[in-house]
Structure 1
Amino acid sequence: MTNIKDVARYANVSVTTVSRVLNGHPYVKAEKRNAVMEAVQALNYHQNSNAINLSKGRTMLLGVVVPFINHPYFSQLLHGISIKALEEGYTLVLFQTSYDRDKELEALEMLKHKQIDGVIITSRALPYEQVRSYTAYGAIVLCEDSEGGEMSTVSIDHYESFLAGMNYLIEKGHRRIGYCIARPSSPNSMLRLEAYETALQSINEPINANWAFVQCLTMEDGERVVHQYKHLRQKPSAFLVASDQVAAGIWMECKKQGIRVPQDLAILGLDNHPIARALGLSTIDLPIDQVGRELVVRAIDTSSIQKKKYGFTIVERGSV
């Protein structure tokens, strides 16, 4: 295989001159530049991009830890990540984990061994401190609103968005409000639960554990919620749902079961996914694509630790 020394020998110049020509250095005489380019063509020489990147201390690879790729929220987040990575010349290494801690550790171990330049964690099962212990090896960016100062974070303002959703339902006359979230132990879900409790306390309403629905990620989970709702002796008049997919499942199952939306049950979703627009679901619009792009920016720019939160907008349609 032809190497840079062969090119230098063919062109009768130094290896340094070949390197300067190939890297676009402006201060090379025209005759030497032409000789090098003629040698490159004659010998069919191709630069080893991996070797170039390693010589610069970079792999141009970013690891992305994601629990599911077929969930609309994470798909949209990955879209923003991939577009920005492409713009910046980075290739993504995807770790689909299903919240398996060992899978998350694989990404962090690759960072430790300099096989990737940084890790973006869109959602995690590993404890914060365990993730933090890998920051000595490279950039780690979290898609969550965490307080620690060792890692950059990019997130939606989950507390304020959920609180705004609760207040919106309260303003519409609802006091018996249930909620649907995914993992109650995740940092984002804990902020949402805090907002939920704050809103109920503001109107002196007790928390009813029977109106709390967890592990809700899909439309099928929304159907499950309605089946459980039907058997409640005391029913909520509204649901705040942390996913438009789940909200869509609730809406469609309500239609099957003869439960009128919003007369019998109001539904407010989260994300403003296209399915919410199609079904006329009221929702909270989140700039997920922008969050994805910013995650890449923070993974590349390691000059400082940054905490960035994005806002939200309530979108009124016909389900509240």
Structure 2
Amino acid sequence: MGNIHDIARLAGVSATTVSRVLNGHPYVSDEKRAAVLNAADQLRYEKNINAVHLARGKTETIGVILPFVSHPYFGTILGGIAAAAEKSGYKLMIVQTNYHTAQEIEAMDMLKLKQVDGLIITSRECPIELVEDYSEYGRIVLCEALSRDFLSSVFVNQYEAFKSALSFLKEKEKKNIGYTVLRMEGKSSISRKKAYEELFGELRSHWVFDQALTIEDGTRIAGEWASLTDQPDAMVITNDFVAAGFLLECRRLGFSVPGDVSVVGFDNHSISGALNMTTVELPLQQLGEIAFEQVISSETSHKEVPFQLVERGSV
């Protein structure tokens, strides 16, 4: 595969003329343009896209850091990012980290190495101070409730969303409420504990079930719930897929929903409607779209997206 100097020799023109033709500049005669394009075709020339990006100062690519590609929560956010990116002519570089700090740092290095124009971090494990350090290399957007001078953010108020589910159950005269989390020490988990203790006082630790991510986790947690001698009479569950697994397994074990246990999920995924399950709707598609608009903007902003409780038949 030839370079522009090879093309220039074959076409009998200068390298400057070749560059003008290949980059679509005017003021080149039709004869010379045809000679350059013919020579480029003969030599099977392809542009060095990295060099083009370097010259332009941008890649028109946005990096997206997420812990799990296949999980519906992050998949819906990603869908919103992708839809907005397509409309604006951008490509995405997606990195799955599994909440490993080293992988998050490796992904942020893409910004430092100018491989992407900006980064959207849907969830993270590494310290916020480290993320701030990388902001000197380009735009970074966080999908969490943080207000920092050099980092944009878009978020659902997880504390208020969880509190709304608890308040709803309290209004329904449910007093013994358990809940699930993905990680005990995660930021959302800390917010959930704070909301619970504000409404109900001291939390019984064995009413909190962790590692809740998939339908299979919901099935497991239902078994753990069933084995308790002091079972909660209501459960607020991490997401609709975990809630679906929990609900279906409870029924398989002979328990009634909502007779023996009420269930509230999160996200308002279509599976919650199919199972007639109460849930807290989080506008994750919209959140992803806003995150993309923030990452290509020159201004730092912080935006909150609303949530709403959708009442169905599981409470």
TM-score bracket relative to the smaller structure: 0.7 to 0.9
CA distance in 1, matches of 2:269, 2:250: 19
Aligned residues of 1:145 and 1:187 also touching (Cα < 8 A): no
Q: Which letter does structure 1 place at the counterpart of 2:102?
A: D
Structural mapping, 1:187-202, within 5 Å: 187-198=187-198, 200-201=199-200
After superposition, the CA RMSD in angstroms is 2.7
1:71 corresponds to which residue? Answer: 71
Aligned residues of 2:165 and 2:309 also touching (Cα < 8 A): yes
Q: Which letter does structure 1 place at the counterpart of 2:301?
A: Q
Structure 2 residue 238 is the aligned partner of structure 1 residue 238? no
CA distance in 1, matches of 2:20, 2:236: 61
1:112-154 superposed Cα distances (whole Å, 9 cap, x missing partner): 2223222222111112112222111222221111233331112
1:60 corresponds to which residue? Answer: 60
Aligned residues of 1:181 and 1:243 also touching (Cα < 8 A): no
Q: Which letter does structure 1 place at the counterpart of 2:90?
A: Y
Structural mapping, 1:243-262, within 5 Å: 243-262=239-258
CA distance in 1, matches of 2:33, 2:262: 71
TM-score w.r.t. the length of structure 2 is 0.87
Aligned partner of residue 267 in structure 2, secondary structure = coil
CA distance in 2, matches of 1:308, 1:27: 47
TM-score w.r.t. the length of structure 1 is 0.86
Residue 211 of structure 1 and its aligned partner are, at CA, apart by: 1.6
1:171 corresponds to which residue? Answer: 171
Residue 42 of structure 1 and its aligned partner are, at CA, apart by: 7.2
CA distance in 2, matches of 1:314, 1:13: 69
Aligned partner of residue 203 in structure 2, secondary structure = coil
Aligned residues of 1:144 and 1:187 also touching (Cα < 8 A): no
Q: Which letter does structure 2 place at the counterpart of 1:162?
A: F
CA distance in 2, matches of 1:47, 1:190: 50
Q: Which letter does structure 2 place at the counterpart of 1:306?
A: S
Q: 1:311 aligns with which of 286, 306, 314?
A: 306
Residue 247 of structure 1 and its aligned partner are, at CA, apart by: 0.5
Which segments of 5 or more consecutive residues in structure 1 lack a partner in the other structure? Answer: none
Residue 248 of structure 1 and its aligned partner are, at CA, apart by: 0.6
Residue 31 of structure 1 and its aligned partner are, at CA, apart by: 7.9
Aligned residues of 2:77 and 2:284 also touching (Cα < 8 A): yes
1:129 corresponds to which residue? Answer: 129
Structure 2 residue 275 is the aligned partner of structure 1 residue 275? no
Which segments of 5 or more consecutive residues in structure 2 lack a partner in the other structure? Answer: none
Structure 2 residue 223 is the aligned partner of structure 1 residue 227? yes
Residue 178 of structure 1 and its aligned partner are, at CA, apart by: 1.4
1:102 corresponds to which residue? Answer: 102
Distance 1:8 1:87, change over 3 A: farther
Aligned residues of 2:196 and 2:203 also touching (Cα < 8 A): no
Aligned residues of 2:147 and 2:153 also touching (Cα < 8 A): no
| Equivalent residues, number | 315
